[in-house]
Structure 1
Amino acid sequence: MSTGEYIKPTESELEILQILWEKGECTVRDVHEILEKSKDAGYTTTLKLMQIMHEKGLVSRDTSAKTHIYKASVNQEKTQQQLVNKMIDNVFNGSAARLVMQALGNHSASKDEIDSIKKYLDELEKK
């Protein structure tokens, strides 16, 4: 995957990427066991998804041992930023404010989250 190219991960691929971003390196078995806790996922389905993700350049694979080790090839922050930008453009007609208001209206933010948002907004105003 070249630097200018962006491949949008599917919902299932994002679930796997979240695991790899959190854990670092994992086998297919490791990923499958985590996925199984929250959804009915077959091992072969997880394996096939991770093979497709490797072909797409979303993950890299170390094949030097019998058990292949996978890790994310895409940056978490950059991927999140690209997905949010696309959502702002496509769903909120380019309005980041509408996205934020919708998110805060539909999700209970903790006191710490609200304080963090206020601090971020204060910093933006100072610029």
Structure 2
Amino acid sequence: MNNFDMIVISEEKENILVVMKTSEPPFDYLAEIEASLREKHYIGVVMIDELLHSGNTEERFIQGYFDGARFDSGQFAFELVPKKSKLREPVCFYLHQDRESLEYSILTTRQQKLIEHGCII
């Protein structure tokens, strides 16, 4: 299983969204994420959605800067993302398709039901 997906989001200021598909911290996979970004020849801001690790809290989204070789580790910061943002959609779509991951996530029963019914949280 791939522990994350990368999605290009052109209408947001962050062009790359990393969707974590595990409840482990994204920093456990930083080397793999950096390798994928290098393959894409990407330089710029990256947003990481760690819904399965942090839940739907203020610490759900982490923003960092990738310089083409690695992240500037001192520049990671939690980012508040509006509820209507397209950045919230991919992980909810993934969880809607993968009910097992949804069921064993740290999300509340209410949040799980919302995602099961196709809602974006």
TM-score, length-normalised on structure 1?
0.30
Q: Normalized per residue, which structure has more strand?
A: 2
TM-score, length-normalised on structure 2?
0.31
